[in-house]
Structure 1
Amino acid sequence: MKSKYACDMRGMLSFHMLWLLARKSMHGEEIAQEIGKRRGGKPAAGTIYPALKDLKNKNLIKGQKKGKIIIYSLTPEGRKTVKYALEYFCRCFGDIFKNR
């Protein structure tokens, strides 16, 4: 169940997915669970899988089928992209967290 305090982070989903995959390879449900822990509500499969497809089409991630599941990981281009995105995010929002 989505928390009433869940943050609507439209536009951040791809960034969040890339960041998670930079930490370790995961399957789609695992990605959804990790995002859910952090934002207060797990995104639906209808949100996660189209986003994964888009990242795959952009050559930022790749999928390897293991049985019935697909394990996603970053491509070299995906690693460059997440590094740049993290630097950009910190430049834009880093000062928000300094005095917490």
Structure 2
Amino acid sequence: MGEKKGIINMLIIKFLSDSPSTGYELMKKIEKVLGRRPSSGTIYPALKSLERSGLIESCREGKRIIYRLTTLGMEHLARYKEMKKEYLEWYEGMRKAFGEVFPTMKKDIDEMKLIFTYEVLSPLRDIIAELRDSGVDEREIRKVIEEARRRLKSLL
């Protein structure tokens, strides 16, 4: 389960780079990403460990403890970004491992990707048809789509 702990730590560091937060706020943010809220028995030991490592710091504000990323934590986050290729390879390995353990998982994941693609592209297809029907020049439509494609690719 070391991978789970590593992911929680990565998310804590990422979220604290956005803004200081309480442990409870971090649990809610992580829940949005993972689809389930990590327990306090997971979050608070992770916060203590990150604080002992010098990656985060805490201060009491009234009854609340606010966690902030340190300079060392920011450097650590930058290393995460530099290691993107390694994380993607790890992710692919995990996906294959789960595919072996749960044979239908690959099919299930592929279906989820298709559903997402359909949900995103279907309204776009409808807008394009509406633009064509209203007489908008197809070259103009293609320019807009190409610009969107370039912007999406820049997110990689």
Q: TM-score range, shorter-chain basis?
A: 0.7 to 0.9
Q: Counterpart amino acid of 1:39?
A: L
Gaps of 5+ in 2: 93-152
CA distance in 1, matches of 2:37, 2:74: 25
Matched, 1:57 2:52: yes
Q: Given residue 26 of structure 2, which amino acid in structure 1 is its aligned partner? A: I
Identity, % of aligned positions: 33
Q: Helix, strand or coil for the counterpart of 2:46?
A: helix
How far apart are 1:63 and its partner, in Å? 0.3
Specify which structure has the higher proportion of helix.
Answer: 2
- Provide the C-alpha distance between the structure 1 equivalents of 2:81 and 2:15, rounded to a whole number of angstroms: 12
SS state of the match for residue 20, structure 1? helix
TM-score w.r.t. the length of structure 2 is: 0.53
What stretches of structure 1 of length at least 5 have no aligned partner? 1-8
Q: Does 1:30 align with 2:25?
A: yes
Structure with higher Rg: it is 2
Q: Distance in 1 between matches of 2:73 and 2:47?
A: 12
Runs of 4+ in structure 1 off by over 3 angstroms are none
Alpha-carbon shift at residue 12 of structure 1 (Å)? 0.8
What is the SS of the residue equivalent to 1:70?
Answer: strand
RMSD: 1.7
Does 2:36 match 1:41? yes
What secondary structure does 1:12 align onto? helix
Query: As a proportion of its length, which structure holds more strand?
Result: 1
Deviation, 1:75, is: 0.7
With CA pairs under 8 Å and 6+ residues apart, which has the higher RCO, 1 or 2?
1
**Counterpart for residue 82 of structure 1:** 77
Q: Quick one: distance in 2 between partners of 1:23 and 1:87?
A: 18
Q: TM-score, normalised by structure 1?
A: 0.80
Aligned length: 87
